[in-house]
Amino acid sequence: MSREINKAWEARVRKSSTKKRANSTFTQMSVAHVDDDESALCQVEKILPNGDFYTGQWLDSFPHGQGKYLWTDGCMYVGEWITGSTMGKGRFSWPSGATYEGEFKSGYMNGKGTYIGSSGDTYKGSWVMNLKHGQGTESYPNGDFYDGEWKKGLQNGQGRYQWNNGNQYIGQWKKGVLCGNGTMMWDNGNRYDGSWEEGLPKGNGTFRWSDGSFYVGDWSQDPEEQNGTYYPSSSSDSPMDWDPQNLYTVELNDCQIFPCENVAIYPSQKTLSGCGGEEDNRPLLKKRTDGSGRPRWTSEDGRMSSYSCNDGNDGFDLGRKSGFSAMDIHCLSSRSSLPRLRVKNPKRQGVTISKGHKNYELMLNLQLGIRHSVGRPAPTPSLDLKSSAFDPKEKVWTRFPPEGSKHTPPHPTCEFRWKDYCPVVFRALRKLFKVDPADYMISICGDDALRELSSPGKSGSFFYLTNDDRYMIKTMKKAEVKVFLRMLPAYYKHVRAFENTLVTKFFGLHCVKLTGTAQKKVRFVIMGNLFCSQYAIHRCFDLKGSTFGRTTDKPESEIEPTTTLKDLDLNFIFRLQKSWFQEFCRQVDRDCDFLEHERIMDYSMLVGVHFKETTAAGAVTPSCISSAGCYTPTGLEDGMPRLSGVDVDNLFVDPSRWIQLGVNMPARAEMTVRKSSSETPQLVGEATGEFYDIIIFFGIIDILQDYDISKKLEHAYKSFQYDPTSISAVDPRQYSKRFRDFIFRVFVDDT
């Protein structure tokens, strides 16, 4: 249906465009309007609050149909829109002179398209979410040419590269360099057939001269690893004294791969100013009447438009002229009558721990200890660890006097002692989680201070965030440390076996012991921050599957992006693409089996939601509203990418961060409503058919609470007063079953 609607809009645009021609960059456009109600399709010319300019078709406070948008920085898009998102065919140009012309999807360059860079390089081929991906050709400014496969913006797979000097390579690529089996052919007739690695010959291969002589052997840039046999031809010109290392130092000198031009800013990163608001989105052209009584249009400053509307209803007759059916019109109009979900702009969390803060010295001690632990020389850790590495007694104490010592630097705080728990294990975990030691130290121990979250958690623990939001530091009780050390061997085995595990990633376990009269010990663990992303988190939910005490009791107007909502606050069902949903179910089962086996309970699924279609005023636009079988033009098929969920390498939403299970995942959220008549709170509400395009983040947190005597007593006490199934403190087996049952009702297959 959406294709028929689009064709009708395009036909209308072509018809109306013949009525207005001008020599200026932006012609003064006419507006078709229905009694100043923007929920009908109309033609507008708008100068937006920040100076951006839009001219074209408009629907329900968004560009919709054919239109042109000019940003104040000089970027411009001309083409098709659907509800404020570039969708279909269009042309995007940069101030540098670079252009992309082709297909768009959900704001991304996606499909077939041609990019011409400011320096003259040209790519024609397939794109997936802003990156060259699939089959394509690249013509470089220096005359080089590539024809072949691409992945994540780089040559990857089978391809042919032709240099401007006549040399060419045909074979396999990996991440933009020659890798695998391939053939290099020089303009003088020489050639190499064999294995490549990191852009150079490595392994078995044959170098042939044009006269028929050849050298066969194992190739390496290290002369000591090079070995082979030379077979001369009968020609007198055969190079008898040729050194195999000449292949690296001479022959390949003229075979450098020309770098692709970097895109300054991706179209998906450009935002629309003020779209969707109330005051800022009234068309700048208003309806007036001329002397004959016919309606005409003037701008806010009184300039007259050349267009006169004689359609009888002062606008598009959607049912009669544009090919819309009565059901389509009902869907479009009912959309604006539904209550709009609103979100607030997220604020930076926490208070910076600066000099004078009560925990300033503790932060300095922590940073000194981390720098010492991670920077200490140690052999590269093997992932195959001995059982002794997990021994709870395997810990290293280090003394930090203020004046410094042989192994520690001087520092401005009081003397303290630093303890590393199981250092070999956590070094291996950081390697397993692909954490670069230098980046890790910079994040935690760099010049930027940590930030303390405003209030402690329910357990009394305090949380600190690194300045780049990558890591979270949580203080721990002695009992929690014991539980963690007890389960550490099983945890290591689990996260090593399942790369997509949803359980919290731990990077270090430490203790600071202050000397003197206080003798205070502060134990803490370093974890990954699930919500470290370029996307703003608009809603945060902590889900357990229980009902007792599981609400924040906050009205919608008081909910901040930093508010952690609970089970009874949840008003969405999250729909994952089929392949992702299947992997999600498998992984939740694996993780819950692991936690149940370790006698862990009271864990929860932390969920962060980023709404893709939000306006400057905070209104969230539904991507689809189903009612009696009708949909708005922004159904899922045209609203978001339909990619495989199993191959992580083929899924991505941004050049800097790839999708993986629970991180940066495109999905849909369907609004739900709870029935208030029941005495027992309804855990999952009834689906309403109102959908939102989202990016979702989720993971299993708080996995260090075992079912000890205190939790057994809590369960017994609360069971006298409340339904035993509604409280959090239950046996790990029962907790695991209840948790899974609930989560598999909240996360469903997007069929």
Could you give the CA distance from residue 399 to residue 410 in angstroms, rounded to a whole number? 11
Compute the average pLDDT of residues 510-530.
85
- How much is the pLDDT for 79? 93
pLDDT more than 70, % of the chain? 75
Give domain limits for the chain. 44-233, 348-529, 534-613+658-750
Which has the higher per-residue pLDDT, 550 or 36?
550
Which has the higher per-residue pLDDT, 373 or 655?
373
Class of domain 534-613+658-750 as given by CATH: alpha beta
Residue 133: CB atoms within 10 Å:
21
* DSSP assignments along 200-240, one per residue: EEEEEEEEE-TTS-EEEEEE-SSTTT-EEEEE--SSTT--T
Compute the average pLDDT of residues 383-394.
88
* DSSP assignments along 444-491, one per residue: HHSSSPPEE-SS--TTS--EEE-TTSSEEEEEE-HHHHHHHHHHHHHH
**pLDDT-derived band at 751, boundaries 50, 70, 90:** confident
**Is residue 348 predicted with pLDDT exceeding 50?**
yes
Which of 351-355, 418-422, 592-596, 724-728 shows the lowest mean pLDDT across its residues?
724-728
Q: 298 exposed, middle or buried (CB, 10 Å; 0-12, 13-18, 19+)?
A: middle
Length of the chain equals 751
Q: Which tokens sit at 294?
A: 């016919």
- How much is the pLDDT for 123? 93
**Is residue 516 predicted with pLDDT exceeding 70?**
no
- How much is the pLDDT for 255? 79
Which of 164-173, 325-334, 561-570, 681-690 shows the lowest mean pLDDT across its residues?
325-334
Q: Which residues pair with 527 in a beta bridge?
A: 472, 506
Sheet with 295-299, side-by-side order of all strands:
285-289, 295-299, 304-308
**Is residue 307 predicted with pLDDT exceeding 50?**
no
| pLDDT tens readout for residues 210-232 | 777 787 888 787 877 788 777 77
Could you give the CA distance from residue 46 to residue 244 in angstroms, rounded to a whole number? 68
Question: Domain 348-529: which topology?
Answer: Phosphatidylinositol Phosphate Kinase II Beta (3.30.800)
Any idea which residue has 């709404």 for tokens? Answer: 611
Compute the average pLDDT of residues 123-146.
89
pTM: 0.55
**Is residue 355 predicted with pLDDT exceeding 60?**
yes
Could you give the CA distance from residue 414 to residue 402 in angstroms, rounded to a whole number? 6
Query: Which segments of 98-221 are extended strands (E)?
Result: 99-105, 108-116, 122-128, 131-139, 145-151, 154-162, 168-174, 177-185, 191-197, 200-208, 214-219
Amino acid residing at 408: T
Q: Greatest CA span in the chain, whole angstroms?
A: 102
- How much is the pLDDT for 742? 92
Q: Which of 274-283, 454-463, 620-629 has the highest mean pLDDT?
A: 454-463
CATH code that applies to domain 44-233: 2.60.450.20
Per-residue CA distances from 156 to 138, 164, 645, 739 (Å):
13, 21, 20, 42
- How much is the pLDDT for 16? 41
- How much is the pLDDT for 6? 46
- How much is the pLDDT for 99? 92
CB distance 27 to 35 below 8 Å: no
Tell me how far the alpha carbon of residue 699 is from its chain's centroid.
Answer: 15
- How much is the pLDDT for 240? 63
Does an H or E element contain 737, and which?
helix 732-746
- How much is the pLDDT for 340? 64
Mean pLDDT rounded to a whole number for the chain: 76
One fold for 44-233 and 534-613+658-750:
no
pLDDT more than 90, % of the chain? 22
Q: Which tokens sit at 384?
A: 């195959």
Alpha helices by DSSP H, listed for 498-576, are none
Q: Which of 10-24, 644-658, 736-750 has the highest mean pLDDT?
A: 736-750
**pLDDT-derived band at 699, boundaries 50, 70, 90:** very high
Which has the higher per-residue pLDDT, 446 or 304?
446
3-state helix, strand, coil in the chain (%, to 5): 20, 35, 45
Q: Which residues pair with 345 in a beta bridge?
A: none
**Is residue 664 predicted with pLDDT exceeding 60?**
yes
Could you give the CA distance from residue 555 to residue 357 in angstroms, rounded to a whole number? 33
Compute the average pLDDT of residues 344-363.
83
Buried b (16+ CB within 10 A) or exposed e, 13-25: beebeeeeeeeee
Could you give the CA distance from residue 39 to residue 36 in angstroms, rounded to a whole number? 9
Which has the higher per-residue pLDDT, 516 or 725?
516
Compute the average pLDDT of residues 610-631.
69
CB distance 122 to 132 below 8 Å: no
CB distance 136 to 125 below 8 Å: yes
Neighbouring residues of 109: CB distance < 8 A, sequence distance ≥ 6: 92, 100, 102, 103, 115, 127, 129, 130, 266, 267, 268
**pLDDT-derived band at 124, boundaries 50, 70, 90:** very high
| pLDDT tens readout for residues 437-488 | 888 888 888 777 788 886 655 666 788 999 888 999 999 888 889 999 999 9
Could you give the CA distance from residue 318 to residue 76 in angstroms, rounded to a whole number? 29
CB distance 156 to 649 below 8 Å: no
Which has the higher per-residue pLDDT, 527 or 290?
527
Q: Which tokens sit at 412?
A: 């401005």
**Per-residue three-class SS string for 258-322:** CCCCCCCCCHHHCCCCCCCCCCCCCCCEEEEECCCCCEEEEECCCCEEEEECCCCCCCCCHHHHC
Per-residue CA distances from 125 to 81, 141, 490, 655 (Å):
22, 18, 47, 18
Compute the average pLDDT of residues 616-629.
67
